[in-house]
Structure 1
């Protein structure tokens, strides 16, 4: 992959579709896989039942692989005992466990439906020769001021920031720094100096407006020209 050069990503796509475009470019450049199907809608009459993200063929083994791709942002709630249930969306509208159940019970099952097998058959793909896999990318945010967390079997390297409440943001630990509230397509990025940074007071007004709408914003904080942090301020 050392010679990989990405093509521009359409800015009008929502974040999930932008991630799919990036993945497609990487797979096209890979010598290990051949892309047989990409974003194939499964329809029954005029109704769209769902969509297949990728069907790949391992060039060496000839194995056909169905891959569902997802990219999520979860905060870690240690008040919940089971690690797989601790990961929840910053607005408490989704969870890691619910997403995995949906992938297994709906998206994988879609290929075995009559409409799914017909769509694959039209592409020359037999469902009997296919295995299912999930590429689950995630950024995790630990509670503010919590250093040690038991995350097994989850990947510790996915922790990229923390989450807090407005009362925490209003303390002296934050008032002296500058901030930027990224749009959702920027959430995957690491903060840098190219953005328009604002003061704590100005940022506070923007955050309060979003919290009033029960929306938990992601915030980037610039502590110096080379030191940045990213976190969610939750409304609940």
Structure 2
């Protein structure tokens, strides 16, 4: 229950102790808190005339809920009045910890059924200032075993070595993988170098028995799946 959320001018100290999100978490555990209350704890403070709980509601509404919040790039989130870069970074750090816990827990590993599923896990790459290559390593059921960063810098065939990528896949006993890298420009259009790299890695995967399922180019708020666009992957 959040009876005072409609009164943004009330500070968190003005609320009864039993209704303050942090005190409720300490007393009853995080499971009883609403998403807005958990977010308010991360935000810690609101702004003049608006407490942290009301700000949390407004952030969730602006982003379209928790899933939308996870997809919102850090700099875009920071532009919401009352948030700023420091709070946006705290929110994304918490979301990333949640992703890593999920990936590290065998019974609860996220399952990838489509390019969009993969994009949801990797959308935060759009915020990176340098080109970065990450790989989703998958088990036989398409569950994520790990999502290591393989390379940071100019991603092309002359600098990225297939051995570095497949070494991680072999070490994790992965049967397949999805490549992903960002374009800091925000435009997810694949370059000729992206296509050439993908072809090389698909061929290497065929030799090693580890399927390369897709290569996503992550832009700002959008992505390109090379497989869905019929680029660099065998048609048969």
TM over 0.5: no
Higher helix share: 2
Higher strand share: 1
Larger relative CO (CA 8 A, sep 6+): 1 or 2? 1
